[in-house]
């Protein structure tokens, strides 16, 4: 497939999990991909896996200077940018009654502030036909016990797409949300273990966890012209978890 032939993409949180799976799919479909993440070892391993059409930039989406370096690298090598997958996310469980300011800041600095500046700083490099994809979550629709800050931040991400679809009128740039549910990423496997993954997957009508490659395939659809009449939308790839 060559739906993304000649396109340049940025994927934040691109060294592992959903971001890495999306990078693989984008490259398979012809894109040149810059992955962005905080761990140099993971970035190095990802680029070695992805091959010649991948570059890595180390940094955090919550640090504007790091984002500036990312987009300077894109401009220097590619000149323009076609796809932004604002995928970096953070936030763990903490039940109501134990929530701290630091816990809230961790989730919102990455998931909301980080998403806003990832997109805003990309816009000068983008033009008509550009696609912006934000990573939401089934938790942003249903809520999730113990995940106050994370769930609220992902609900905010859903609204960013609605707001930006209005803000981007006339530019030819689209913005949509990709909302995964239970997904068998490295982080989920480590946190839940085999039995925990079975239990979480069993909560979905499809009775299983999703594969990161399945989320990456949906991201490629939103990145491509196959979704050219979509903006402000949410694509749920959650096994039906938040749909019933």
Catalytic residue at 75? no
Q: What is the C-alpha separation between 188 and 121, in angstroms, rounded?
A: 30
What's the token pair of residue 164?
């930006």
Q: Of residues 58, 154, 198, 200, which has the active-site annotation? A: 154
Residue 200 appears among annotated catalytic residues: no
Tell me if 40 sits within 8 A of 58, measured CB to CB.
yes
Rounded Cα distance, 18 and 135, in Å: 10
Distinct helix (H) and strand (E) counts, the chain: 9, 7
Whole-angstrom distance, CA of residue 100 vs CA of residue 97: 9
Q: Of the residues 150, 169, 198, 200, which is catalytic?
A: 150
Distance CA 231, CA 150 (A): 24
- Site of tokens 């796809």: 83
Which residues does the annotation mark as catalytic?
A: 150, 154
């Amino acid at each position: 497939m060559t739906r993304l032939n000649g396109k340049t993409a940025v994927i934040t949180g691109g060294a592992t999990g959903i971001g890495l799976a999306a990078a693989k799919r984008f490259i398979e479909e012809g894109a040149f991909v810059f992955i962005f993440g905080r761990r140099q070892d993971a970035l190095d391993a990802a680029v070695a896996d992805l091959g010649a059409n991948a570059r890595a930039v180390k940094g955090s989406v919550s640090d504007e200077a790091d984002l500036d370096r990312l987009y300077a690298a894109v401009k220097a090598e590619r000149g323009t940018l076609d796809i932004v997958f604002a995928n970096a996310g953070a936030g763990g469980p903490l039940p109501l009654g134990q929530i701290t300011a630091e816990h809230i800041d961790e989730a919102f600095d990455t998931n909301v502030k980080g998403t806003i500046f990832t997109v805003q700083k990309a816009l000068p490099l983008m033009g008509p036909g550009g696609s912006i994809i934000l990573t939401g979550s089934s938790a942003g629709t249903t809520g999730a016990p113990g995940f106050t800050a994370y769930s609220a931040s992902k609900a905010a991400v859903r609204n960013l797409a609605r707001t930006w679809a209005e803000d981007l009128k006339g530019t030819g740039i689209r913005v949509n949300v990709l909302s995964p549910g239970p997904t068998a990423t490295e982080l989920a496997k480590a946190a839940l273990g085999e039995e925990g993954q079975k239990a979480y997957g069993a909560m979905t009508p499809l009775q299983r966890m999703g594969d990161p490659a399945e989320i990456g395939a949906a991201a490629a659809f939103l990145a491509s012209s196959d979704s050219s009449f979509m903006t402000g939308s949410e694509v749920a790839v959650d096994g039906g978890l938040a749909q019933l």
